[in-house]
Structure formats: structure tokens, C-alpha cells
Structure 1
Amino acid sequence: MSELYIGLMSGTSLDGVDGVLADFTAGQMRVLQHCSAPFPPELRAELLALNSSGSDELHRAALAGNALAHSYAGVVQALLSSSHTAPTAVRAIGAHGQTVRHRPQEFDGTGYTLQLNQPALLAELCGIDVVADFRSRDVAAGGQGAPLVPPFHHAFFGQAETTLAVLNIGGISNITILDPAPNTPVLGFDCGPGNALMDGWCHHHTGQTYDDAGQWAASGQINQPLLTTLLSEPFFAKPPPKSTGRDLFNAPWLAQHLHLFAALPPQDVQATLAELTAQSCAQALRTMAPACRVLIVCGGGALNTHLMQRLAHHLPDCQVQSSDVRGLPPLQVEATAFAWLAQQACLRQTASLPKVTGAQGARILGAIYPA
């Protein structure tokens, strides 16, 4: 049976879709092809708007899910064409969907997590089985439903003789701590904002969807009083398991802290937001794994030169390196993780870590939509 899987990821940065064609034959993990596609501006705007309550949400969300499925299908077709792979050779597509609400354990004790997606439509468009809805089973079992990538980080990066950590900086940042000692559980949790606040501020003031290499942030000065105010958010002091999203770290959250700092130059706010991400991630690592000496960074944040320099500044005893050094480029890690999660679902293998999410036990994640 084929051990080729496609993984698709569109994260909270809302920059578009990353896809990989991965080969898991004989226990190996090898990316055969990678493809990225930006969201059309109107879809990006709608997905961002659906992170907040608004009019006619059910109708708009359904249509946005359809549009997302077509974007996913375009990436799948590009992967197949460029690798000369037939759809029948791929066992399944792992499609994460677009998170627009993430409120685990809230309201009624169970809460919910919501990823816009139309996996049935994607299966119809591609002629390949689709695995989707990865988070809800963990939430149903009392967990956070996030982060889901630590078991993949362990499978791909975990063969080391020393403690290492994997930091994914997408819209939200999450960290995985891998200790080589026998029977030591994998740890993982969300640290706080990754690129989301920086991207939003940059777009508002420059018209660019992100701060290329962090150049704009590097041109500003960190404002310590503002940074102290931002770091007073209770989430940062909360012990894991914990997860977060745009439900908390969004433009209104930033605005409520900025009202006393209205006179600050925009580039100084950007520098302070980059420092917020760097310090919150560094503090999370120092608190949970003070002996860690290697930090592998993936996600779009790994391409932000200024942010990587600030991380290295705050972790002088730790080697901060891009996941590229470990054989998997930063923009391929999460997509590969969802290809791996799709494989686990097809094999009926559990793929959640209760120590990470706080769930009552390990669960098989994902619902399968046959082609």
C-alpha cells in the first residue's frame, strides 16, 4: 500500500497554504515536493474577519470553507504535477483547515475549536482520501486540542543525545521540548503570539502583509514600558498545558494596551512586538527546560532575521538554528506534520500526547473523508 501522503497547512499567519508530498515508506520521513500558494486577498480578508463575531457568519464561513478547499486543491494539483505523481499513488491528504476560533475548556467545560474546511469537497476535487478535523477529538477528551505537532517533532527531530527544543513561530508560537532520557515525556505548549501581532501592525502601517526579515522592527527602538505592559497578560504566567490563538492575541488586545502609548512611532511598536515574541518564547524555554542547549526554529518566524537575533540574544547558552539545518526547511515542517498525522489516522494510531494537551488519554485524531 502507498505510503505517500500530502500535508496541507494554513496557519494563523493567514499568509496562504503550504503543502508537501511526503514519503513515509519503511518508517522514513522524506519530503519529495513542496509547494506554497498565497491566499487571494479577498479570501485572506474574509478568513481574518471570521476570527471575530459578525453578521451572517454561518453563510460566510461555509463559502469561505469552499474557497479554502479550492485553494488546497490547487496546491495538491501543483504537488502532483511537479512530482509526476498520480492521485492514486497518494494514500491520503492531511488538511488542517483554517482555525477561526479556539476556545477549549471554556463556557461549558468542554469548549470548542473550529477550523474552517470542506474536506468532502477537497476529496471530490482531488480524488484522494482526506483526513481533517484533527483537533476536536482531543478537545472532547478534555484537552486543549493544541499544539498537535509535538509528537511529529519527536518523531522527526527527537533522535539526539541532549535536550533540544523545537519552536514553531507561525501566527501563534508553540514549543516542543524533547528530553533524550528514557521514559521522559514530550512537553509542548503554546507560548503566545508569534507573527500575528507583528503582521497585523505591519499591514496596517505599511500595507505589507509581513515585515520582511524583520527590517522594519530592526529600525525601531524597543519601548520597555509597553513591553512590560504586554507581558503582564496572564496567559504568559499560566502553566501548561495551555493553548491560545487570535481569540486572545488580536488587534483589539493590542489596542487596549496601546492607548497609553499613542505617541510611539509605529516602528518602535513593531520592535516591541518582535521583542514580545522573542522574550515570551525564550522565557518559556528557560522555565520548562533550563538545561536545553539547542533550539530548532521553524515556521515563518524562522525567516525573520531580526527575530532570530533577538531569540539568540535572550538564549546566550542555547544554539538557535533554523530547522533547515536539521533537514526540513521552516515552511515545510507543519505541512509535513499534518501529512504524518494523516498517516497516523489511516493506521488507526493514536497521535495526541495527554501530557501536552491535558486530555484524559491519547486519541486517534482526524476524520477520514473517502475519495
Structure 2
Amino acid sequence: MAGGKESGAGMRVVGLMSGTSHDAVDAAAADLALDGDSLLLRPLGMVSEPYPEELRSALAGALPPAATTLGEVCRLDTRIGQVFAELAVRADRELCDGRAELVVSHGQTVFHWVEQGRVHGTLQIGSPAWIAEATGCPVVSDLRSRDVAAGGQGAPLVSIVDVLWLRGRPGVSAALNLGGIANLTVAGAAGDPVAFDTGPANALADAAVHALTEGRMDYDEDGLLAARGRVDETLLRRLLDEPYYAEPPPKTTGKELFHWPYLRDALSACGPLPLEDVVATVTRLTARTVADAVRSAGAGEVAASGGGTRNPTLMAMLRTELGGIPLRTSDELGLPSAAKEAYAFAVLGFLTVHGLNGTIPACTGARRPSILGSVTPGRRGLPRPRAAAEQPRRLRILPA
């Protein structure tokens, strides 16, 4: 890789990610290298596969607030690991010419244990042994637990990548990810950066569409339902009364809170509403709560990524709510928006095998920075030894 004398040799890394929408698994490949205090990332592309419908249904049926069994958790852990393994093999073949050296798997979040603002534990499943066996590569997984053990929220873990990426831009910038849950990283001010989950992004819209169509649809494709609907102010006010929005960062949330029974309870006080109005209202809720968070953090620009950026109705509402604050996608700054989280986890695993910290305490609330994850050896054992490396201070995106 270009860019001067590197403190460590480059590495071809595959990052695997399935978010809180649990609809598909994404794999992004990158050439990564350390160059002094810079981390160099050359994107190699992304491949994605939807979960098999039967597996997606089993996963959805096991998530809170539903009850499940340890037997079902074991089956899901194995089957999700196998799906991740198949995609990792494909990514290595199609994006890395069979030369991937490391796979980093976020896994599938199935529970994030939060009580009174404190995270006590987090669980991502998808057995890494299947990935290591299929690819032959060492695998870094279980990236969130160490930060939780250090007193942090375990999220948003992409915050260190966002801070390195945004550092040096004029003013105060915010990186926004719109998945099932929306998270925000704000950097560039004189003080410490801040990162937190703002609330639902697609979670409540997906839940409403699935429940109110009795499973015939799973999400609001292209934002067409929300575009046809009318925002119900009574429902919106009720949803905005959620105490989570007033909690100070760092904070995290998930589908343990923002799920269909939660929305159904809010709807019960509003009378029957057409599907389109419900979806329009929860889409406005996302735009309002994100914009409020951006303003409260003092950000002067927003770079968005994630599946929500493909919803033109959500993006239009967000632009309206942000007023004069510019909203662009991360693609405009060099990081493909659809693959940004997968690239971020590739970076986290790369830092791990170099013995470097993957968290910023100001962003997660931890007592100290941590080297993240557990490493499953590949067929040739553990990742090859690296020269002493310097903790990077900035991320440079190189041309693909």
C-alpha cells in the first residue's frame, strides 16, 4: 500500500456484519495497514446475502420480548455461524483473490442487557469456529463484551473508526448510522468525542410493517408507505415521551425496548390508524430524535450510512428536521455507506491482532480503552506476529 513507510505490513481483512434489522449478512473486504499514526484503508468491495427465510423467521421468533430456549439459542448460534462462514468464503474468493488473512465477525446481536442506563452484558451469536474452519483464517469475534466488562456500553463500537475518519475535518462533524437502531458519533470539537444510540432508525417501521401486514411485508421498501401516509401528531407525541431520549450519553438501546409490543401499546391510546400513517409517524420519530441529538451535540454536518440511507422518505424527513445542517452520505467522504459498519469491524479486528485498543472511553463510557474480542485460530494458527505498532490517530481512505 502507498503512503510512506509503514510501521506494520498490510493485511487483507474481511469484516462480517449483521445489524439489528437481522435481514442479511454483509461482508466487506479491505487492505489495511499502519503508516505512522495513520491507519490506511483501501476498500476492496462488499458482498451481501439475505438470511434464509426459515432462519430469519426462527431468529425473529427468538428475539425479545419473545421467550426462547437454550436449545434454540444453540441451533441459531450454529446456523448463523454457518451463514457467516459461507459469505466469508465468498468474500475471500470474489474480493480478496483467495488471499484474506483475517476475518472479523460482529455476529448477530440477540440481546443487549441494559438496566437503569447501565449495560450489564451483551450477546452476539454466530459461532466463529465455523468461519475459521471454512476459510482457514483466524477469526476475531465477540468484540463488544470487553468494553462492557470495562464499564462501557459496548456500543457504538464504530465510534473509534468514526473519530479517526472525521478527525481533521473543519468544525464539528457527526457520523450517523441508520440501521435498526440509529447511532451517532460526534467529533472535532475541542473536547472529547461523544457517541451514543439516538433511538430507533428502522426498527419500529420494520416492526409495524411486519405486524400490520401479517408478515406479507417486512419493511417499507423505498419509503413508499411513509410517503403515502400522514404523521399522526398524537402518536408522535406519545412516542417522543420515551424517557430514553432524555438520558445523557453515552447510552445504548436496542430491540429489547423498540419492538412491536412497545409500538402496539402506544397505538392503543391513539385509536386505529392506517398502516401508512403508522409508518409515516415512526419514520418522523426517527428523523426528529436523530436531528435533536445532532443539534444537542453541536454538530455542523452529518455523514450518514446504513440501510436507512436507501429510504428517500426518511432522508427527506431528516433533512427537514436538520434545517440548515448539511446531510450527506458517507460515500461522499470515501466510505461506502452500505458497507461502512462491515469495514468498521474489519478495522476493529485489525487493531486487535496488532495489540491496539479498539475503543475510546469517552464514546462508550468505559473506565479505560480495551483491546477487543476473542481470537479463534485458523488452520495456520493465530494471526502472524506483527511489529510494534503505534495507536493510530487518523484514518485515511485510499482509492479502491
Q: TM-score range by the shorter chain?
A: over 0.9
Match of 1:312, SS state, is helix
What displacement does 1:105 show?
5.6
What displacement does 1:204 show?
2.8
What displacement does 1:317 show?
1.6
What displacement does 1:203 show?
2.3
| 1:357 aligned onto 2:367 | no
What displacement does 1:328 show?
1.8
Which residue does the alignment assign to 2:333?
A: 326
| 1:200-256 residue CA offsets vs partner (Å, 9 max, x unmatched) | 212233422221221110100001111000010100111111000011111111111
Which residue does the alignment assign to 1:96?
A: 106
Unaligned segments of structure 2, at least 5 residues: 1-8, 379-400
Which residue does the alignment assign to 2:26?
A: 18
- Cα separation, partners in 2 of 1:5 and 1:263, compared to 1, 3 Å: same
| 1:46 aligned onto 2:58 | yes
Which residue does the alignment assign to 1:280?
A: 289
| 1:31 aligned onto 2:40 | no
| 1:120-161 residue CA offsets vs partner (Å, 9 max, x unmatched) | 221112111000011111111111111101111122333311
- Mapping of residues 1-371 of structure 1, within 5 Å: 1-25=9-33, 26=35, 27-52=39-64, 57-83=69-95, 85-86=97-98, 89-104=99-114, 111-179=120-188, 181=190, 184-206=191-213, 207-289=216-298, 292-371=299-378
Does structure 2 conserve the Cα–Cα contact (< 8 Å) formed by 1:151 and 1:186? no
Question: Which stretch shifts more, 295-304 or 62-71?
Answer: 62-71
Does structure 2 conserve the Cα–Cα contact (< 8 Å) formed by 1:29 and 1:156? no
Does structure 1 conserve the Cα–Cα contact (< 8 Å) formed by 2:194 and 2:363? yes
After TM superposition, the score normalised by the length of structure 2 is 0.87
- Cα separation, partners in 2 of 1:40 and 1:180, compared to 1, 3 Å: same
Does structure 1 conserve the Cα–Cα contact (< 8 Å) formed by 2:148 and 2:154? yes
State how far apart, in whole Å, the 1-side matches of 2:65 and 2:258 are.
15
| 1:96-139 residue CA offsets vs partner (Å, 9 max, x unmatched) | 011111014669x7621111120122111211100001111111
Paired AA for residue 273 in structure 1: V
Match of 1:8, SS state, is strand
Between the aligned residues of both structures, percent identity stands at 38
| 1:26-59 residue CA offsets vs partner (Å, 9 max, x unmatched) | 4311111210110111111122222226565211
Does structure 1 conserve the Cα–Cα contact (< 8 Å) formed by 2:152 and 2:365? yes
State how far apart, in whole Å, the 1-side matches of 2:212 and 2:63 are.
21
State how far apart, in whole Å, the 1-side matches of 2:289 and 2:152 are.
23
Paired AA for residue 192 in structure 1: G
Does structure 1 conserve the Cα–Cα contact (< 8 Å) formed by 2:46 and 2:95? no
| 1:270-327 residue CA offsets vs partner (Å, 9 max, x unmatched) | 00000010000000111121xx221111000111101111111011121111112112
Question: Which stretch shifts more, 21-30 or 242-251?
Answer: 21-30
What displacement does 1:83 show?
2.8
Paired AA for residue 104 in structure 2: G
What displacement does 1:266 show?
1.2
- Cα separation, partners in 2 of 1:134 and 1:68, compared to 1, 3 Å: same
Paired AA for residue 130 in structure 1: V
State how far apart, in whole Å, the 1-side matches of 2:45 and 2:122 are.
30
Which residue does the alignment assign to 2:391?
A: none
- Cα separation, partners in 2 of 1:229 and 1:55, compared to 1, 3 Å: closer
State how far apart, in whole Å, the 1-side matches of 2:189 and 2:41 are.
20
- Cα separation, partners in 2 of 1:356 and 1:105, compared to 1, 3 Å: farther
Unaligned segments of structure 1, at least 5 residues: none
- Cα separation, partners in 2 of 1:368 and 1:106, compared to 1, 3 Å: farther
Q: Where does structure 1 differ by over 3 angstroms across 4 or more consecutive aligned residues? A: 53-56, 104-107
Question: Which stretch shifts more, 213-222 or 74-83?
Answer: 74-83
- Cα separation, partners in 2 of 1:67 and 1:124, compared to 1, 3 Å: same
- Cα separation, partners in 2 of 1:212 and 1:71, compared to 1, 3 Å: same
Match of 2:269, SS state, is helix
What displacement does 1:81 show?
2.0
Question: Which stretch shifts more, 293-302 or 47-56?
Answer: 47-56
